Structure 1
Amino acid sequence: MPDEGALTRAPGSDPSDAGRGTVQQAVLQRLRDAILSGELPGGSRLIQADLAKTLRVSATPVREALRYLEAEGLVGSHPHRGSVVHRISQHELEELYDLRRLLEPEALRRAMPASTAVLAEAGQLHDAMGRETSPARFAMLNREFHLTIYGGADSKRLVEMVRSLTNPLMAYVSASLQLVPDLHQRSMDDHSKLLSALRQNDLQAALDAQVRHIRIPRATLHLP
């Protein structure tokens, strides 16, 4: 595990400063940010007692945060190692994107026409992404942008399937944003085209924008 003090060096991120009702959320956000930024890389052991000491909180919010991160696909539980940051394999990476290409167009079809509320929320998330400088937070906003749009579909099971595919990819997206200079702008351009198509209720244009956004050639799909 990386040096314990690393988790306390982010300004304004000390969970012990949070109110009692928000400590768990603060711990969850701190650990998620550390995983997505690579501060806690894949394969890192997450020892509850060490994390609680480092973050200056009790074991309970750490334990609950780890459970939530496991449900998100960012953390795995191993019999002899305990909680470990999930390390995505090349095969898993390719498989996840293949499945996204199959499922997300159907989710988009079912979500159209998009409601005024969905368009408003997606627009706010798009604006937030444009202001975001943290790759980890951008990855989270990117996921929520797409899930918000798909949430308009009358198929909760399909949306949850898409969510389960995108969760393990967040760390990969975050790392890619740091390594590929124009990826942030390319993503923003794709989102702008998708939003414009949704506002015009143009299904084909929306599908074209979406497919372009997630069509990463197999040759370029590689772990950073």
Structure 2
Amino acid sequence: MDIAPSPIPSRTQYVQEAVKHAILTGRLRPGQALVEAELAAQFGVSKTPVREALKTLAGRGLVVMSEYKGATVRTVDTAMAHAVYDVRLLLEPEALRRTVTARAELEAAGAALERSDAADDPAGRSLANRDFHRALYLPCGNPLLTRMLDELRDQAALVSAVAWQAVPSWEQEALEHREILARALDGDADGAGRALHDHIASFVRRAFPDRESPDGELPGVESSGVESSGVESPGGESPDRE
């Protein structure tokens, strides 16, 4: 007998998605403390699902777990940014070439651009940007390539969120996105791949010049230290809680 999955997430999933959403939209800033007791009280759950959620986010590169400091939002520095974007430069253009060669549908990419244009805050633009890039590589036809890029997706979004606070470049990137999509829709696989490569590379040059501040963090971006962890729900109904 087939059993449809429950639309209500588990407590751990709910906390995980809420904290991730807050990190990727800048509500929780790099270096900010994630206090289990505070999060548990905020979500009305025990500390166990909070702890499990933070462990999962640590595995995805968004949170740092320390025996002495507890959990904090990962701090972004130029070394981490270049590591993430070097891999994107290697993999993402090739995935797009394969998507275009396969004549895959790109409606989701167009819809993401429309959401970005309509967004009136950085959080909305950030999420739409994330969706646009995934829509380009998701239909590439290679599950391993897709999975590798998916594993980078959250860290890339964290890097972007921090960089945009220091060097806003939404308008330029919107133009580049439209050029990439236009070439892809024209069936120009190599041209679309080159445009995507240039787009990622130019973002790195603008946002992460080859210099670091004395503490190793991105120039112009300050860590918020050990502020308390205030997290809003990412939307939807909350699960049954303990």
Map of 2:58 onto structure 1: 70
SS state of the match for residue 76, structure 1? Answer: strand
Following TM superposition, by how much is the alpha carbon of 1:189 offset from its aligned partner in structure 2, in angstroms? Answer: 1.1
Following TM superposition, by how much is the alpha carbon of 1:215 offset from its aligned partner in structure 2, in angstroms? Answer: 0.9
- In 1, Cα distance between the equivalents of 2:54 and 2:45? 14
Map of 2:116 onto structure 1: 129
1:1-224 map, 5 Å: 21=8, 24=11, 27-59=15-47, 61-113=49-101, 115=103, 118-181=105-168, 183-216=169-202, 218=205, 220-222=207-209, 223=218, 224=221
Following TM superposition, by how much is the alpha carbon of 1:38 offset from its aligned partner in structure 2, in angstroms? Answer: 3.8
> What amino acid maps onto 1:87 in structure 2?
T
Contact 1:37/1:175 (CA < 8 Å) preserved in 2?
no
Unpaired segments ≥5 residues, structure 1: 1-19
TM-score, normalised by the number of residues in structure 2? 0.71
SS state of the match for residue 215, structure 1? Answer: helix
Of structures 1 and 2, the one with the larger relative CO (CA 8 A, separation 6+) is 2
- In 2, Cα distance between the equivalents of 1:148 and 1:124? 10
Change (3 A) 1:127 1:61: farther
How many residue pairs are counted as aligned between the two chains? 203
CA RMSD, 1 decimal: 2.7
| Residues 24-55 of structure 1: per-residue CA shift (max 9 Å, x gap) | 56544432243234442223332222111134
Following TM superposition, by how much is the alpha carbon of 1:144 offset from its aligned partner in structure 2, in angstroms? Answer: 2.3
Return structure 1 stretches of 4+ with deviation > 4 angstroms. 22-26, 217-220
Q: Which structure has more helix as a fraction of its residues?
A: 1
Following TM superposition, by how much is the alpha carbon of 1:176 offset from its aligned partner in structure 2, in angstroms? Answer: 2.7
Contact 2:30/2:73 (CA < 8 Å) preserved in 1?
yes
| Residues 145-199 of structure 1: per-residue CA shift (max 9 Å, x gap) | 2122211112122122223333213223123333334x11112111111111111
> What amino acid maps onto 1:40 in structure 2?
L
> What amino acid maps onto 1:83 in structure 2?
A
> What amino acid maps onto 1:213 in structure 2?
H
Change (3 A) 1:69 1:144: farther
Calculate percent identity across the aligned residue pairs. 32
> What amino acid maps onto 2:193 in structure 1?
L
- In 2, Cα distance between the equivalents of 1:71 and 1:45? 17
TM-score, normalised by the number of residues in structure 1? 0.76
Change (3 A) 1:173 1:145: same
Map of 2:229 onto structure 1: none
- In 2, Cα distance between the equivalents of 1:89 and 1:127? 31
Unpaired segments ≥5 residues, structure 2: 1-6, 210-217, 222-242
Contact 1:114/1:198 (CA < 8 Å) preserved in 2?
no
